[in-house]
């Protein structure tokens, strides 16, 4: 096993220290996460891979502030995380769009917490519809969209508040292989345009290597970090190159 941290001269955007999480199952304690230490730098694209049940999604929920019953510390932009707050957005595998609302109405919902002036809201919604390539589909309902288009709308909703950190919980997991490849490139385009930090959970090692600056490999029961693998390849990456294949194999080996 290996553990390599990406060098940085600036303080991390996100810092997890000695983070642990336990639940009670049938009256008995079950440890989901144990002693997670992780620093993530501003502007990076980091993916988390690991076996099912290792706590990847639980980790994202803690970071965004949906769950708070943890031990250890989570610091975002230098301040402790104690619940939901500004600066962190999240998109899930299922797009979670409201079926009775249009694309623009679903994206506008993301602004309810901050409630900016009406014209500012309309401008932000227009900009983010364009960002994810859905111009012309503003009035469409989720049932009228393809899976990839619905996921783009969900990502736009998460981005419309202009977070510093976007958390992605297997956002492409429900797509077929062709749409998934297309959406991988869309994610890269959005990441480069917005210049924010992406932290993504995925089961697809090739996807992690294709997208990320770094891949965090987790083990299970309890969930823990086994390795951090830097991906020092330029985008767009050639999946059949020797360097790409070697990195993919290294991560697969860490998972075994």
Q: Domains of the chain, with CATH numbers? A: 11-87+166-172+196-255 (3.40.50.300), 92-162 (no CATH)
- Between the two ends of the chain, the Cα-to-Cα distance in Å is 10
> Would strands 45-49 and 197-201 be described as parallel, antiparallel, or unpaired?
parallel
Q: Are 78 and 11 contacting, i.e. CB atoms less than 8 angstroms apart? A: yes
172 backbone φψ class: left, alpha, beta (φ>0; ψ -120 to 50) = alpha
227 phi, psi to nearest 5 deg: -160, 155
Helix, strand and coil content of the chain, in percent to the nearest 5, comes to: 35, 25, 40
| pLDDT > 70? residue 28 | yes
Q: What is the pLDDT of residue 9?
A: 63
Higher pLDDT, 144 or 7: 144
List all residues 6 or more positions away from 140 whose beta carbon is below 8 Å from its beta carbon. 102, 103
Residue 88 tokens read as: 């962190």
* Interatomic CA distance for residues 132 and 95, integer angstroms: 14
Q: What is the pLDDT of residue 10?
A: 80
Query: Which residue, chain included where needed, has tokens 């309810």?
Result: 112
The per-residue pLDDT of the chain, averaged, comes to 92
Helix axis angle for 118-131 and 147-159, nearest 10°, is 140
Name residue 122's beta-bridge partners: none
Q: Render pLDDT for 204-247 as a digit per residue (tens, 0 to 9).
A: 999 999 999 999 999 998 999 999 999 999 998 999 999 999 99
Q: Render pLDDT for 84-134 as a digit per residue (tens, 0 to 9).
A: 888 999 998 888 999 999 999 999 999 998 889 999 999 999 999 999 999
The length of the chain is 256
Whole-structure pTM value: 0.91
Confidence of residue 68 (pLDDT cuts 50, 70, 90): confident
């Amino acid at each position: 096993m290996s553990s390599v941290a990406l060098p940085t001269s600036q303080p991390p955007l996100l810092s997890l220290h000695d983070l642990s999480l336990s639940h009670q199952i049938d009256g008995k304690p079950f440890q989901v996460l144990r002693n997670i230490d992780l620093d993530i730098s501003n502007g990076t694209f980091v993916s988390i891979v690991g076996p099912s049940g290792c706590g990847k999604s639980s980790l994202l929920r803690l970071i965004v502030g949906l769950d708070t019953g943890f031990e250890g510390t989570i610091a975002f932009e230098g301040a402790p995380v104690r619940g939901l707050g500004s600066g962190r957005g999240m998109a899930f595998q299922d797009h979670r769009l409201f079926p009775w609302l249009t694309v623009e109405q679903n994206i506008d919902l993301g602004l309810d917490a901050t409630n900016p002036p009406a014209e500012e809201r309309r401008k932000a919604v227009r900009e983010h519809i364009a960002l994810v390539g859905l111009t012309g589909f503003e009035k469409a309902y989720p049932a009228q969209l393809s899976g990839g288009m619905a996921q783009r709308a969900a990502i736009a909703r998460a981005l419309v508040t202009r977070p510093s950190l976007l958390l992605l919980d297997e956002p492409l997991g429900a797509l077929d292989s062709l749409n998934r490849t297309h959406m991988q490139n869309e994610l890269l385009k959005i990441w480069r345009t917005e210049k924010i930090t992406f932290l993504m959970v995925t089961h697809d090692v090739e996807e992690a290597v294709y997208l990320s600056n770094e891949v965090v490999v987790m083990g299970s029961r309890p969930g823990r970090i086994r390795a951090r693998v830097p991906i020092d390849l330029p985008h767009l990456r050639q999946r059949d190159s020797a360097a790409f294949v070697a990195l993919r194999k290294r991560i697969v080996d860490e998972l075994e």
